[in-house]
Structure 1
Amino acid sequence: MLKVMVIEDELTLRKGLVWTTPWDTFGCEVVGECADGREGAELIRKLQPDIVVTDIRMPGLTGIEMMQEVRTVVDTEFIFITGYSDFKYAKAAIDLGAQGFILKPIDDEELEAILLKAADAVRRKKRYDLAMATQASGIPELYGRLASYENGRPNDRYLQAAIDYINCHIERNFSLKDIADHLYISESYLSKLFKSKTSYTFLEYCTHHRLKKAADLLTDPAIKVYEVAERVGYPDSRYFSTLFKKWTGLTPTEFRSYYMQE
C-alpha cells in the first residue's frame, strides 16, 4: 500500500479527509496526520510517506515551507489544499514540483482525480527504481516486489493474510494470538510485522480499520449508530462512540451530520 499523510490545521476538514476518503481504492492508507507544518515535517522524515496531502496556510510552517524543508531527504509527492485567496501560493507549489492542488470546499471527484495522478507518479518511480535495482544486482526476485507495488498490496504475505483476516472478521472480537495461530506464526513476529510495515501496532491497526469501516457505514443514514457499532465489532455502542470521538474528534452523530452537510 502507498503511505499517505494528511496535514491540515482545521480539525473537521482533516478528519473528514482521513475517514471518508476511500484510500484503499487507490491502493493507499493513511499512516499519519497532524495539524501544523513543523510537526508535519518531523512526521514526514519519520514515516517516509509516498504522498502528503497538506494545507498551504498552517501554524509552524506553511505547506510550501514544509515541502522545501523535507524535499532533500524524502521523495514524496505533495498535494496542496487551498482557498481562492491563496491561489498564487498554489501556483508556486506547482512550480516547486507539487502534483497539484485542491480548492476548498473539497470536491470528491477533484480529490480522486489528483490522488490517482499522485499514486501513478509514485508507482512509476517505484517501477523505475526496481528496474534499476534489478539491472544492477541481477536478482530476479525483485519482480515479486514490483508486482506488489502494481496492485497496491503489502509485499509481505503474512501481513496481507493478517489484513485479509481482519477484513473478513471485522464484526468479531479477535486477538493477535487468533490471527497468529491461524497463520501458524508467532505472536511476537506478527506484532513486529505490523509495526515495521504499517507504522501501527496491531491494536492500533485494528482500531483504525474498524473505525474507518464505521465511518463508511455512518454515511448511510438508514443504519443506526448502534448497528454501525455492532457491524465493526463493538457491541457496546457507548464505548464505540467514545472511541470514535477519541480517534476522529467527532461523535458518530456529529460525523454523520458533518458528512450530510458536505
Structure 2
Amino acid sequence: MLRILIVEDEDIIRKGLVYTTDWLSMDCVVVAEAANGQEGYEKILEYRPDVVIADIYMPYLDGIEMIEKASETVHFKSILLTSYAEFDYARRAIAARVSEYLLKPVDEQKLADILKGLAGELACERQKDQALVQVEQAELEGGNLNLEYYKNLDRTENHYVSMAVERIRTDYGSKISIESICEELGVSASYLSRKFKEVTGQTFLDFLNKYRVQQAVALLNTGSYRINEISDATGFTDYKHFCTVFKKYTSKSPTKFIKEI
C-alpha cells in the first residue's frame, strides 16, 4: 500500500483530495496533509511517504522547491498539481525529477493510473535495494552472490542484465567480457555497463570477479585442488592476478586461506 502525503495551500482542494478520493481502491493511504511548502517539507521528513502530491504555488516554499529540498534526505515519488502548463514550470519539474503532472481539477481515474505506475516503479526500486543489501550481506558473511535473484528481475526492464548474469554463471571459468556479451546481444557496451551498474550496484567486472572468487573459495574448501588449478578453473589465466583479486575480496591470499581452513 502506497503512503501518500498531500501538500496544498487551498483548503477546499486539499480536503477534497484527502476525504473524497477513494484511496483504498487505489491501494493507497493518506498519512498526512500540509497547507504550505515548509510544512510539507517537515511532514515529508517526519512521515517519509512513498508519494507526495503537491501544488506548485504555495507559501514559504513552492512545490518544486519543497520536492528538491526534501529529496536530499528522503526518497519518494512526486506528483505536481497545477493550473498552469507553461514550459518553465515543466523544465523546473524535470530538473527536480518530478514524476508526474496533474492539472486541476484532479481527474481521479488519471490519478489512479499514475499511482499504479508509480507503485510499479517503487516495487522495482525496492527489489534493487534488497538485492544490494543481499550482496553486501553475502560479502560480509563470505556467502555467495544470489545470481538467481538478478536473473529473475523484471525481464522487460532488465532483460540484458539477466542474460549477462546468466553468462557469468555458466561461463565464469572461461574468458568472457562485457564487450563479447554485448556483441552477442546486439547492444552497446556503454548501455549494458550502465544498466548493469544500475541494477546490481556493481560494475560487470566487479560482479564477475566476486563470483569467480566465491567459486574459488568453494574449490579451496574441498582441499582437492592446487591453487594454480583453481586459478585456471575460475577464469584467471594469470596466477598472480588471481592472487591479487582473491585478496581484494577476501582480505587473504589463497595460501593463507588454505592454512586457515
Relative contact order (alpha carbons < 8 A, sep ≥ 6): 1 or 2 greater? 1
The alignment's TM-score, normalised by the length of structure 2, stands at: 0.50
The alignment's TM-score, normalised by the length of structure 1, stands at: 0.50
